[in-house]
Amino acid sequence: MLERSELSRYSRNILLSGVGRSGQEKLKSSRVLVIGAGGLGSPVLLYLAAAGVGHIRFMEADRLDLTNLQRQILYSTHEVGNSKGQVAREHLQQLNPNIEIDLREERFDTENALEALEGMDLVLETTDSIPAKFLTNDAAYFAGRPALIGGVLRYHGTIIAPGRSSHSVGRPCYRCLFPSAPPSGAVPTCADAGVLGAMAGLVGSAMAAEALKILLEVGEPLSGHLLQFDMLESSFRRIPFSRDPLCPLCGDQPSILELKEEPLLAEEEDFLDRLPRQDQLP
């Protein structure tokens, strides 16, 4: 049930076709897990909190560094050196005191992944950790939860929406595109290659919007698609990808039967052999 102050706070949401009072109440009862509170996680957390998602659990174990401030808009200069998670929780609670903020100051790993997902309606992975993306996909698959996996580098960004769960017959997962991790060092990070700060805002905001669509069950879901952003060309591409019968997780004869860490140990030539086949792309 919405309080009078909430009706005012969320009035611009409630006016929307597909939302209304019932949709806003649905958001209030929703529970979301966000992995990371950095460049992508900042706009994701801010917009989910502002929209009135009733319970937000997020995982962040780092301390704020001066280099973060170019793109991580949850934080301020005087907070450098402090716990990012604690600072983020305070800011989010100030933004919207009507919602529950559950901070987990720990890394997302095989020991806590399924417990962190317990009771959640959706998980968003926003870090620059390749193993975390694989783990998010796998944990969401085993838990039967939808996932959004984001990435940003230089002037480009991506959002990948694996199929909802193991019960969604025919829906692909992240490993249908990337069966295993690339070689160590093959994929640069923002610290290696740089990133346009506004790109993190753009992609993170798009992730938040997609999350709200999923929670409200409005519009065309991104599930089973990869969304590409290219700011140098001012272009956006929505690319469908198919379930791979040979996928080690959701394929016909899966080899991954439980959660495990994804090591960055693959040989380069093997990794190239495992890239998506042409018939999986449009």
- Write out pLDDT tens, residues 201-257: 999 999 999 999 999 999 998 988 999 999 999 999 999 999 999 999 999 999 999
Mean pLDDT, all residues of the chain: 90
- Residue 15: inside a domain, yes or no? no
**263 pLDDT above the threshold of 50:** yes
Could you tell me the CA-to-CA distances from 79 to 21, 73, 88 in Å, in that order?
Answer: 37, 12, 10
Q: Is residue 118 helix, strand or coil?
A: coil
CB 160 within 8 A of CB 177: yes
Task: Give the three-state DSSP class for 45.
Answer: helix
Confirm whether 14 is domain-assigned. no
Task: Give the pLDDT score at 167.
Answer: 44
C-beta separation of 210 from 44 below 8 A: no
Helix locations, the chain, DSSP H: 4-9, 11-14, 20-28, 41-51, 84-95, 113-117, 130-143, 174-177, 190-193, 197-216, 268-273
Q: Is residue 276 part of a domain?
A: yes
**Residue 269 pLDDT exceeds 70:** no
Q: What is the pLDDT of residues 134-190, one digit of tens each?
A: 999 999 999 999 999 999 999 999 999 986 644 455 689 999 999 988 776 777 778
- Residue found by looking up tokens 């694996």 in the block: 162
Separation of alpha carbons 56 and 223, rounded Å:
21
Number of domains in the chain: 1
Average pLDDT over residues 82-102: 99
* CA distances for 15 relative to 22, 26, 254, 272, 278, angstroms: 11, 15, 46, 49, 44
β-pairing, 122-125 vs 147-153, is parallel
Within-domain flag for 6: no
Quote the distance between the C-alpha of residue 121 and its chain's center. 13
User: What pLDDT score does 59 carry?
Assistant: 99
Instruction: Report the CATH number at residue 172.
Output: 3.40.50.720
Which residues, 6 or more positions from 73, have their beta carbon under 8 angstroms from its beta carbon? 42, 43, 46, 201
Q: Does residue 191 lie in a domain region?
A: yes
Domain for residue 1, yes or no?
Answer: no
pTM exceeds 0.85 for this model: yes
Strand pairing partners for 59? 35, 104
- Cβ burial of 29 (10 Å; 0-12, 13-18, 19+) is exposed
Tell me, letter by letter, the H, E, C secondary structure of 255-280.
CCCCCCCCCCCCCHHHHHHCCCCHHH
Q: Does residue 26 sit within a domain?
A: yes
Q: Using an 8 Å Cβ cutoff, are 27 and 16 in contact?
A: no
In-domain check, residue 44: yes
Query: Is 126:150 a contact under the CB 8 Å cutoff?
Result: yes
Give the residue from 216, 277, 230 showing the smallest Cα distance to 29. 216
Helix or strand run (H / E) with residue 237: strand 235-240
* Model pLDDT, residue 164: 61
